[in-house]
Chains A and B, each alone.
Chain A
Amino acid sequence: MAQDALIDTWGLSKRYAGNKAYSLRDLNLHVGGGEIYGFLGPNGAGKSTTIRLLMNFIQPTDGHANIMGKNVVKDSVTIKKSVGYLASDMAMYPKMTGAQFLDYMGQLQHNVDEEYKNQLIHLLQADPAQKLGNLSRGNKQKFAIIQAFMHKPQVLILDEPSSGLDPLMQEAFYKLLREAKERGAAIFMSSHVLSEVQKVCDRVGIIKNGKLVAERSIAELEKEAAHTFEVTFRESVPTKVLEKLKGVTVTPHDERRAAIRLDGELAPLLATLAKYDVVQMDVHQLDLEELFMHFYDDEEEQ
């Protein structure tokens, strides 16, 4: 259950030097303790800019952000005692071994729980004796995850956290997320993997061209999601008749098969279908990916 907000932004905006356009515009969001917030958007939408602003790597042009009630610019050092950060494709020191890297990060962090760190190494099956430069992307990502979680932070800021991990390690990572959530951490993660977001997040924000275009809880999204029916007719698809119904969109696959998407009352659709010789009808819930594309398509149309 989400508690008071640990991450807050008010009108947070960023325009890079030499650019006329804002990379992030007027972002207002609030992430509570015990909540996993998924931040979605394609490349260049403003996800990484938001994360870099929260981490004080770049300075806001307008607005401000707080983590645990403290300003991310003025109180950056204090905040980072309680923040775990994982960059997308995190850069590491190739000549260091995994153990040396974790030691270095741990010495800078001060409050690392060594026992928990070893548990993480074991859980993710990381090999601390290997030089980081010799590791595959997925194996490097394990150390990136360990360094973000090893001090049991109250706030986790994760940019594409599971990229490069195999399915088993992804499950281990989701377990870590759930543990962090259970101990009350606020988790802000960007991801391209919509199935992952749907699986682990409580709430999602969709960002486009630097603006937050939608923000919903996963439960709300599921409720809102239109039903889609895969229908096979014995004869040709009555596209024109179906599209006269309110809230119906027809996408023909071939002459006899079509996907019928419904945003409204089910009864008129069923009554119309009953007049035709329907061979097969499958119902499936719209997934997050379709919904994501729906938001983007709607925005494009506007």
Chain B
Amino acid sequence: MKPVIRWTLWQRRWSTFWWSLGVVALSGFTLAFYPTIKDQASQLNKSLGGLSGSAQSLFGGTDFFSPVGYLNSQLIYFTVPLILAILAIGLGTSLIGREESNGTLESLLARPVSRGKLTLAKAIAGVIIILIVSFVNLLVTVGLSKLVNLDVSSVYVAEACFACFMLVLTFGAVAFLLTSTGRGKVAALGISVVYGIGGYLISSLDSTVHWLTHVSPIFPYHYYQTADILRGTFRWGDIVFFTVFTLACGLLAYLAFRRRDIA
């Protein structure tokens, strides 16, 4: 199992580097703007107060320019999860899917390696890559927040980044599961994106469109409450949901991959 993890990480070392650099650029660029707008926070909040509740909720709340509001609406609620979700879904569809479409999966399965261990090794490699990029994001966000005097507890930022990491794992897990069943990469990609983005829209709008409150709990985004986390309310129950969801997808991926024909 270790060689599969090691070689998968080695093969993706440059893409991991570029994704990390991208996250550094995104967070750095966004936080660099904070000093120029923080003095006008109350006026800007007032002017955006005219937006509908639905529109405001798409950005993660009604407060956009306070330290917590800025960090949440500009980075942690949507932008960073979006970027990391692209990475996670891409990994989910390609960790086994690319090996299968390239034909190299046969080389691995010709060795005394069980399909279960191969699935687990690929999943672990994917989690490590997402963890690395998420950790880089955490370091940059905490560091730059201090630098631009964004007054939010580093512990709360770390907790929010951790929740973000756990959220995107669920998206990657859905993609991994669909690819493991032998569905085409495109189908797995499409369904995972619709599930992720659809979940974001439904969970963001459920406060104003009441019937959505019955639907939104099936989407991971419903449990991603970063505004609360940045204000000091961290709910372990949400993390448990992400964990159970990810593990369930992993288990189903194993069961699906265990006995199916390799293309």
Contact = CB atoms under 8 A, between A and B. Distances in A.
A56 B108 CA distance: 12
A110 B112 contact: yes
B49 interface: no
Interface in B13-60: none
Interface in B104-133: 104, 106-114
A104 B261 CA distance: 24
B122 to A, nearest CB: 13
A282 B260 CA distance: 56
Interface centre among A58, A83, A104 (most CB of B within 10 A): A104
A57 B261 contact: yes
A87 B2 CA distance: 24
B11 A93 contact: yes
A81 interface: yes
Contacts of A76: 114
For chain B, the bracket of interface size reads 20 to 34
Contacts of A78: 112
Given A55-B109, A57-B109, A80-B110, A91 B104 contact: yes
Interface in B188-221: none
A105 B107 CA distance: 8
Interface centre among A105, A107, A108 (most CB of B within 10 A): A108
Contact of A108 (B104, B112, B261): B112
Interface string A241-272: 00000000000000000000000000000000
B102 A55 contact: no
A1 interface: no
Interface string A77-117: 11011010101001111010000000011011110000000
Contacts of B102: 91
A276 interface: no
B103 A109 contact: no
A73 to B, nearest CB: 8
A92 to B, nearest CB: 7
Contacts of B114: 76-77
A108 B262 contact: no
Given A56-B109, A58-B261, A80-B111, A108 B3 contact: yes
A10 interface: no
A16 B260 CA distance: 11
B4 interface: yes
B109 A91 contact: no
A163 interface: no
B262 A109 contact: no
A93 B104 contact: yes
The 3 A-B pairs of least Cβ separation, nearest first, read A91-B103, A107-B3, A108-B111
Interface of A: 16-17, 52, 55-59, 76-78, 80-81, 83, 85, 87, 90-93, 95, 104-105, 107-110, 147
6 contacts: A17-B261, A52-B262, A80-B111, A90-B103, A109-B112, A110-B112
